[in-house]
Chain A
Amino acid sequence: MNLWSRIRENAVLYIGILVIFYMLAPIVVIAIFSFNDPTGKFNFEWAGFTTQYWAGAFDNEEINRSLWLSIRLAFFTSLGATILGTLIALALVRYEFFGRKAANLLIVIPIATPEVVIGAALLSLFVYASAALGFTTLLIAHIMFSISFAVIVVRSRLIGFDRRLEEAAADLGAAPLTTFFRITLPLLAPGIAGALMLTFALSVDDFVISNFNAGAEVTFPLYIFGANQRGIPVQVNVIATILFAVTIIAMTFVILQQRRAEKMVEKRADDDKKASVAIPI
């Protein structure tokens, strides 16, 4: 009875731990197996500890080529999608125009559409336009499906944007372009940075759409999928673990930033109390 009531009291905690374990287990396995020393072609059974694949993480030419392609692709994708997404978000939030409501809805459609459909549709479009499949078609495809995410991230920042700051800038003599670069853009920066990171990650990660539109190019996910048939080199585990670590560090950075902003707000409230006492009138 005692035990039962204890379990009941802490049920939320236990379930939470289980869920977290469920979510993290695959990643932990990948990290552990990056230290494996497999005997055959397949890296599925523990055969002994080694750091040789960490030392030679970038020894596999094929992996390097695909990784480099994915990084280049993600770089240009995040740049293109974020620039376009920011401009679209500005238009959607700031301007009244015919069809604005519809556009606000349509912008999420690519997110809701199955990737297979987007991939196939893009492929038939490229074929119809007789475009040679390759880096360019990949880039076009990636920017296309990333824009929606960029718009959503920047838009949420814009909705909370205090337009009076721009009026204040104009009031102080700043022409519209100056106001945009000195006030609007810096204040949107966290949203823009978020959009850059998110679209970069989406692009590196994409398999389905790339699979349709890559032509002879092999991105990192496409390489892993192909290698799966012949046996995945341990380096893949190593690189996956590195990517994961980079993500964690970036996230920690964002969270710390957030904490600092919150502390500032608290401090300000404190100061207000002090000030109303301190000023002798």
Chain B
Amino acid sequence: METSPARPDAERSGSPAAAGDGRGSVELQGVTKKFGTFTAVDDIDLEIGDGEFFTMLGPSGCGKTTTLRMIAGFEQPTQGEVLIDGQDVAGLPAYKRPTNTVFQNYALFPHMTLEENVAFGLKRKKVPKDEIKRRVADELERVGLSGEATRKPAQLSGGQQQRVALARALVNLPKVLLLDEPLGALDLKLRKGLQVELKKIQEEVGITFVYVTHDQEEALTMSDRIAIMNKGRIEQCAGPEEVYEKPATTFVAGFIGVSNLLPARVISGSEVAIEDGPTVSTPDAAGFTTGEELFAVVRPEKLEVSTPGQAPGDRPGIEGVVESSLFLGTATQLGVTVADGSKLTVLVPNASEEERQRLPGGGARVYLSWEPEHMHLVTESPGEDGTENFQPMQTQDQGDQTK
């Protein structure tokens, strides 16, 4: 209570239902959800730690919302268990769970003022009136809407509504806050600003955030850990850097920014043979069995372009023909077709105009080389061709920033 009343920490210590008591963990054990014969979520296991900013990332329809709804209690798993704070919550209805949700469309109560919206959860918990008043005022102040307390949601802009939705959930200090694409409906500029704000708030209150998004950039910038989902399964669950640098599958490599996939085969515990290309020694190979077919991933900015025959040193490389050249401002993007017919993307930073002029144009034969440590091995996603998921260039830039 030593800080000003606007400080959220102050009332957290004063409230008996305070979160941040170190027990906001979520665990999914073999959770499957079927709708009829369709499997929306397929046998997933997750362990989310207390106070973690955990993101579920994946394309539309991969089962992110369904997973979140099972944690919130709106859906019951067909199989498997959900544990919150170590407790199996099977059969516990949504209104009895220690979670709160920020819905994608906000779902603000249109017939109530902002104040009433934010106070709704506290009233259900029978928190004393004056405490409700104080906490609601503090929360509205935190999200910068004190002046609008008596307005109705319909009188607010999208960004403001999003803040109210956040305040309405956060004011209850849940053990776990579930956020379903909370910034999905906002324009880019607003989204960027709120990303920073959300992350700050999460660090401030220390509540576990389970965040759903299909925006890889958002996931990379905000999360402590990311689970990348595809077709109801989790393909990889790791920190943002690991996900970006060491994707586990072709799908992950494709979904997190542009990746070049070269078919390859493991020939020993320390070497892989690139199809129609060189044999490269890499410590990554130790994780696979000899003879396994997989893919070597090299990020577009890690490929170096040179004239065939003039290759620098003993770097592994592959020959190809330039198909396209695209000026992107800070970089030039080359499309190169290599021997086995696959198309690689190369990103050459634009240092100066004259350097750019020297870049090979369409039809030129080039040699693409890379440092062995920049090459990473991934397995093919089950039933998935990772190359389908190549993302537009902006994504690549974002990936760079996170490193």
Tell me the nearest residue of chain B to A271, going by C-beta: B157
B190 at the interface (CB under 8 A from A): yes
CB <8 Å contact, A172 and B105? no
Per the bound structure, the CA–CA distance linking A170 and B109 in Å amounts to 12
Q: Which of B174-205 contact A (CB under 8 A)?
A: 187, 189-190, 192-193
CB <8 Å contact, B154 and A183? no
Fill in one digit per residue for A236-264: 1 if any B CB lies within 8 Å of its CB, else 0. Answer: 00000000000000000000000001001
CB <8 Å contact, B121 and A271? no
B158 at the interface (CB under 8 A from A): yes
Given contact pairs A178-B124, A281-B189, A281-B193, A276 touches B111 in the complex (Cβ within 8 A): no
Given contact pairs A171-B100, A172-B120, A187-B111, A279 touches B93 in the complex (Cβ within 8 A): no
CB <8 Å contact, A171 and B187? no
Residues of A within 8 A of B152 (CB): 264
Tell me the nearest residue of chain B to A167, going by C-beta: B74
Residues of B within 8 A of A24 (CB): none
CB <8 Å contact, B125 and A173? yes
Per the bound structure, the CA–CA distance linking A172 and B96 in Å amounts to 9
CB <8 Å contact, A187 and B110? yes
Residues of A within 8 A of B158 (CB): 272, 275
CB <8 Å contact, A279 and B190? yes
Residues of A within 8 A of B120 (CB): 169, 172, 174, 182
The number of chain A residues touching the other chain, given as a range, is 20 to 34
Fill in one digit per residue for A163-203: 1 if any B CB lies within 8 Å of its CB, else 0. Answer: 01101111111111011001100110000000000000000
Q: Which of A175, A261, A279, A281 contacts B95 (CB 8 A)?
A: A175
B143 at the interface (CB under 8 A from A): no
A267 at the interface (CB under 8 A from B): yes
A101 at the interface (CB under 8 A from B): no
Residues of B within 8 A of A265 (CB): 154
Residues of B within 8 A of A178 (CB): 124
Residues of A within 8 A of B109 (CB): 165, 168-169, 183
CB <8 Å contact, A268 and B156? yes
Residues of B within 8 A of A173 (CB): 95-96, 121, 124-125, 172
B286 at the interface (CB under 8 A from A): no
Per the bound structure, the CA–CA distance linking A174 and B93 in Å amounts to 10
Residues of A within 8 A of B93 (CB): 170
Residues of A within 8 A of B74 (CB): 167, 170-171
CB <8 Å contact, B100 and A172? yes
Q: Which of A172, A261, A276, A279 contacts B121 (CB 8 A)?
A: A172
Most chain-B Cβ atoms within 10 A of its Cβ — which of A162, A170, A186?
A: A170
Q: Which of B33-56 contact A (CB under 8 A)?
A: none
A41 at the interface (CB under 8 A from B): no
CB <8 Å contact, A267 and B155? yes
Per the bound structure, the CA–CA distance linking A186 and B116 in Å amounts to 14
Per the bound structure, the CA–CA distance linking A65 and B397 in Å amounts to 83
Q: Which of B368-397 contact A (CB under 8 A)?
A: none
CB <8 Å contact, A172 and B168? yes
Tell me the nearest residue of chain B to A270, going by C-beta: B157
CB <8 Å contact, A165 and B107? yes
Tell me the nearest residue of chain B to A173, going by C-beta: B124
A6 at the interface (CB under 8 A from B): no
Per the bound structure, the CA–CA distance linking A118 and B115 in Å amounts to 51
Q: Which of A147-169 contact B (CB under 8 A)?
A: 162, 164-165, 167-169
Most chain-B Cβ atoms within 10 A of its Cβ — which of A168, A178, A274?
A: A168
Tell me the nearest residue of chain A to B121, going by C-beta: A172
Residues of B within 8 A of A261 (CB): 154
Residues of B within 8 A of A172 (CB): 95, 100, 120-121, 124, 168-169, 172
Per the bound structure, the CA–CA distance linking A42 and B176 in Å amounts to 79
Task: Please provide the 3 A-B residue pairs with the shortest distance between their CB atoms, ordered closest to farther.
Answer: A172-B121, A173-B124, A271-B157
**What are 5 A-B contacts with C-beta separation under 8 Å?**
A167-B103, A168-B108, A176-B95, A268-B157, A275-B159
